[in-house]
Amino acid sequence: MKLGYYSPSRRGGAIFVSLKKLSTVLAILMFLLATSPTFAKASITKTVYGKTGDGKEVNEYTLTNSNGAEVKIITYGGIITSLRVPDRNGNLDNIVLGFNKLVDYETKNPYFGALIGRYGNRIANAKFALDGKDYTLAANNGSNSLHGGNKGFDKVVWEAKEVSGDANVGLELSYLSSDGEEGYPGNLTVKVVYTLTADNAIKIDYTAATDKATVVNLTHHSYFNLGGNGSGPIYNEVLQVNADKYTPVDATLIPTGELADVTGTPFDFRNPKTIGSGIRSGDEQVVLGRGYDHNFVLNRADKTALEKAAYLYDPATGRGMEVWTTEPGLQFYTGNFLDGTLVGSSGGMYRQGEGLCLETQHFPDSPNHSAFPSTELKPGDTYQSTTIYKFVVD
Ligand code: BGC
């Protein structure tokens, strides 16, 4: 065949060749799309985590987003056992404290990663009154009731349902807390949805409904260490909290009822400062808490909107965490009761200050302080609360 001679078959061959090329290019593209973290889809997988002492199966769900950020949640206590987010160089590391075994979560967990309910933080003398009726709770923290009592929401097995979209991936956890459980009135149906978003945020949506007037204050209790689980104390991390006031406490960590101005105290985090700068200040309140263990009264433009409450930053790794919430309060706890007796998922033991909690909430002991925002939930009303922990690099 002469060069340049027009031939239909030759033309067909050319089309065939370019189709072949096209399919190769497409195959390469598909491969790149599937393997590139930018285009990989969010996913959720489930494995058996273990069995509780009383024989209930516990599953672990792994949620991964398109950037490779990953959170592991178990159905026992709705506990986040691991949360891997990138540092400024793109290295993923687990930034929450935890254990490797279910039995440790069952027997010695200081609420690592857990869902807290029915009532986050303390209720004085384990007692409150509602509609003229007195209720007695379990006194599991000296004479006070802490984090829901002996068997709070951190120690129950939740029903789980996967929720997935293209960019976000989620896990819906449900639990029915029956009337009288841990002394609280009303059958309370609780739903908590954890969503891992495409922009590296963990969104937590809480809803609850009751058939009798009750009190509810739900929160999440991860101990964060932006330098990495087991990397040492969090004192060099920088915190900013959007609060002009906080609630001082008595010797048993019950709020006195006062809303104190943070100006001139170690509680002034309105401008970012290292956590270490005030933790040994000798301030009476810091001494009572053995560090920070206080509720901040968040400045809010709108009572119910999702607003930025705090920003935590680790200069060593460049990891930052924004905290957004619809709640009026934020409990800042610097892991003061970690005393080196727990060996955790890092493989080493945890000493004081190796993790910190930023628990979005209504104020502690609100049922006994009528001036605090109310935690009462009435039949027919829906408890609704949202918190976002968003991870960034700076
Ligand atoms: C409380 C601490 C308590 C800790 C339990 C925090 O929310 O404020 O006082 O010791 O939870 O791990």
Residue type, 192: V
Contact between 121 and 364 under an 8 Å Cβ cutoff? The reply is yes
| 168-185 confidence digits (pLDDT tens) | 999 999 999 999 999 999
Ligand 1 atom showing the smallest separation from residue 111 Cα: 12
Q: Percentage of the chain surpassing pLDDT 90?
A: 88
pLDDT at 5 over 70: no
pLDDT at residue number 23: 61
d(CA 312, CA 291): 17
* 43-393: CATH topology: Beta-galactosidase; Chain A, domain 5 (2.70.98)
Report angle CA 233, 339, 365 to the nearest 5 degrees: 90
Q: Structure tokens of 378?
A: 């009435």
Q: How far apart are CA 372 and CA 356, in angstroms?
A: 25
Retrieve residue 364's tokens.
């502690």
Would you tell me how many other CB atoms lie within 10 Å of the CB of residue 304? 12
CA dist., res. 173 & res. 220, Å (int): 13
Q: Got the DSSP string for 198-264?
A: TTSEEEEEEEEEESS-EE-B-EEE--B-TT-TTS--STTSEEEE-EEEEE-B-TTS-B-S--EE-TT
Residue 226 sits at φ, ψ, to 5 deg, of -65, -15
Cβ–ligand 1 distance for 31 under 6 Å, the answer no
For residue 359, the ligand 1 atom closest to its alpha carbon is 7
Instruction: Let me know how long the chain is.
Output: 394
The full set of domain ranges for the chain reads: 43-393
| pLDDT over 50 at 7, yes or no | no
CA distance 370 to 255: 12
Average model confidence (pLDDT) across the chain: 92
**CB 365 less than 6 A from any atom of ligand 1:** no
Q: Give the pLDDT confidence of 132-175 residue by residue, as tens digits.
A: 999 999 999 999 999 999 999 999 999 999 998 778 999 999 99
> Is 337 a pocket residue for ligand 1 (Cβ < 6 Å)?
yes
Q: Is 359 a catalytic residue?
A: yes
Please work out, in degrees rounded to the nearest 5, the angle formed at the alpha carbon of residue 296 by the alpha carbons of 294 and 300: 170
Q: Is 249 in the pocket of ligand 1 (CB under 6 A)?
A: no
Q: Which of 221, 294, 362, 369 is catalytic?
A: 221
Which residues on adjacent β-strands are paired with residue 282?
Answer: none
pLDDT, position 6 = 30
Whole-number Å distance between alpha carbons of 331 and 363: 8
| pTM, to two decimals | 0.90
Atom of ligand 1 minimally distant from the CA of 110: 12
What is the CA(286)–ligand 1 centre distance, in A? 14
231 Cα: distance to centroid of ligand 1 (angstroms): 21
Q: Quote the ligand 1 centre to 283 CA distance (angstroms).
A: 19
Instruction: Give 157's DSSP letter.
Output: B
Known catalytic residue: 221?
yes
Residue among 205, 212, 218 at smallest CA distance from 377: 212
Question: What is the structure's pLDDT at 3?
Answer: 32
pLDDT of residue 64: 97
Per-residue model confidence as pLDDT tens digits over 293-333 = 999 999 999 999 999 999 999 999 999 999 999 999 999 99
86 C-beta neighbours (distance < 10 Å), count: 20
Mean pLDDT of 214-243: 98
Cα of 253 from ligand 1 centre, angstroms: 9
- What's the burial of 273, exposed, middle or buried (CB within 10 Å: 0-12/13-18/19+)? middle
How many whole angstroms separate alpha carbon 375 and alpha carbon 23?
61
Ligand 1 atom at shortest distance from the alpha carbon of 289: 9
**353 has pLDDT over 50:** yes
* Ligand 1 atom 7: residue of nearest CA: 121
Q: 119 CB under 6 A from ligand 1?
A: no
